[in-house]
Chain A
Amino acid sequence: MKPLKQLKNALLTQNPVLNQLLGMCSVLAVSTTVSSAFGMGVTVTAVLICSNVFISLLSPVIPQQVRIVSYIVIIAGFVTAAELLINAFFPSLASSLGVFIPLIVVNCIILARDEMFASKNSVPASALDGLFMGLGYTAAIVLLGALREVLGNGTLAGIPVLGSGFRPILMLNFAPGAFIALGLLLALVQKLTARLGQKGE
């Protein structure tokens, strides 16, 4: 177990969103505001930790031939539980995440971590992996959410930051704007991590 390396991997060099380009659907859809992006990040992190722990725990008894089906069943169980809990205790978050909570089931980050990491590693390492990868996802979606909310609406987490003279770029609130913003963000991150990689060598 190398927690520090795992953390650096998840946040920078192997960030699930910005480097591996996984889970794009929810990143594009739920990043209109910082608060809903953060809610989505926390939910995905929770599901990721739980499913990683359980799949690492159950991997000896899960038959190789039907492992993907088993993973999906377990993930779907946690997502449904998360949806019920959010509906019951965080109604405002439920209305802003809407249909994207059930879609966490098919978020490929979770399936990828379960297949690539949790099924082959110990329970504590898998829990940490879930936490760090979840943080990486949260960081990416919140970053994009902040970009879109500030430029598209002139606010950050609901607080006006750019003054009344600023004319918001309305397109950023819609799907095409989400793609463009994500593209720019990816280009920036690739540039920075490439430089980081060169320095390391």
Chain B
Amino acid sequence: MTLKKLTSQLRSGSVWDIASRLLTITFLVGLCLAGVYALTSPVISAREEQARQSAMSTFFPGCHFTQISCQAPEVERLYKAEEASQCSGYCALLSVNGYGGNMEVMVAVNADGRVRGVEVLSHSETQNIGSLAAQESFLSRFKGKTADFGLVQAPNVPDENQVQALSGATRSSRAVASAVTAALRAVENLAVAPPTGEEDKLLPSETSALKNWFGEVIARPVDLPAEHGAAVEVWQLHSPTQLVGYAVKTQTVGQNEAFKITTLIGFNASGAVISYEILESFELESFTAALLRDDFRLQFVGRTVPVTTDGGENSVELIPNMEKSCRAIVKAVNDGLQTVAALQGGAAQ
């Protein structure tokens, strides 16, 4: 198109007309896509989460999982698998770069630090070449390896602590191997880390909850009293001059029976509930959100005696259709109250 033609079109307004129509079409298509995205994204993320959980349950059948903090940057999430409060191992979720882009890898590690199993949850490697690195025949080669294992190329025969790479798919093999190494290292570091008593043991979510309720406080972990119910950790919270309250972490069963809800409950110095925060939940997203909404949560604030659900004096109202999830919070608060009461009783003696 010549300049002359363009200027004449500009003057007559037809370019603006074309541009505005194109813009309208593009805008409308974008709007429709936003609608479809809003509809599908919760389903997609729930499905991905479900895939992760079922991978974990396959590696450690009958165990329940709790997320633990992990310093290693490559590890997105680290779970501890426990059966009857015995640690049976760890599951690490990692994201590494393969040949065709991101690969999401789940590595299960036994309590003794050896690989229990590897699964590739998602990848975009070349079909029939790199994708073979996501199949059981390759992944099973990692079983039993320790963190110092090596990857060897085809003509060399792997020894005890070596894994043979897939020929033609070296980069995909390396990606999986790097994920396994990172997971093993992360678990190794856990074992080395000091067991208890450190303030920085608090997860970021726990620190921010405590800050909301108490401002700046020093959290000092204390031993669980004998009667602690579902409580798993307790802290005494101190300002520079005095005791300001307690924080109790509990794990209770809601709707999802395999994965417990982890709740952090804050108490003031006299043992009344200040608030609670859900640290981790495998309930439906909308359920978790409902449990945190004020109309349910405020029922617990200020309580000093265990709550009931029988409609009596100390009763709280459960949210219809999600009673199981609500009862998890009721139990968490009650066991927290019991724990704090036991601590205070112990201090008085």
Chain B CB within 10 A, most for which of A58, A69, A81: A81
A73 touches B26 (CB 8 A): yes
DSSP majority for the B interface?
Answer: helix
A89 touches B29 (CB 8 A): no
Q: Within 8 Å of chain B (Cβ to Cβ): is A186?
A: no
Given contacts A73-B29, A74-B29, A87-B44, contact A81 B22 (CB under 8 A): no
Q: Within 8 Å of chain B (Cβ to Cβ): is A80?
A: yes
Considering the complex, which residues of chain B in the window 21-44 have a beta carbon less than 8 Å from any beta carbon of chain A? Answer: 21-22, 25-26, 29-30, 32-33, 36-37, 39-41, 43-44
B40 touches A84 (CB 8 A): yes
Considering the complex, which residues of chain A in the window 87-116 have a beta carbon less than 8 Å from any beta carbon of chain B? Answer: 87-89, 91, 98-99
CB distance from B59 to the nearest CB of A (A): 20
Report the interface size for chain A: residues with CB under 8 A from the other chain. 25
21 residue pairs of the A-B complex, CB under 8 angstroms, read A61-B21, A62-B25, A63-B21, A63-B22, A66-B21, A70-B22, A73-B22, A73-B26, A81-B33, A84-B36, A84-B37, A84-B40, A87-B44, A88-B41, A88-B43, A88-B44, A89-B43, A91-B47, A98-B124, A98-B127, A174-B128
B33 touches A80 (CB 8 A): yes
Q: Within 8 Å of chain B (Cβ to Cβ): is A160?
A: no
Given contacts A88-B44, A91-B47, contact A62 B36 (CB under 8 A): no
Q: Mark A35-65, 1 if CB is under 8 A from B, else 0.
A: 0000000000000000000000010011101
A174–B131 Cα distance when bound, in Å, is 14
A85–B128 Cα distance when bound, in Å, is 26
Classify chain B: how many residues form its interface, as a range. Answer: 20 to 34
Other-chain residue from B25, B36, B43 in contact with A58 (beta carbon distance below 8 A)? B25
User: Which A residues touch B47, using CB under 8 A?
Assistant: 88, 91
Given contacts A84-B36, A84-B40, A88-B43, contact A73 B25 (CB under 8 A): yes
Other-chain residue from B22, B44, B124 in contact with A99 (beta carbon distance below 8 A)? B124
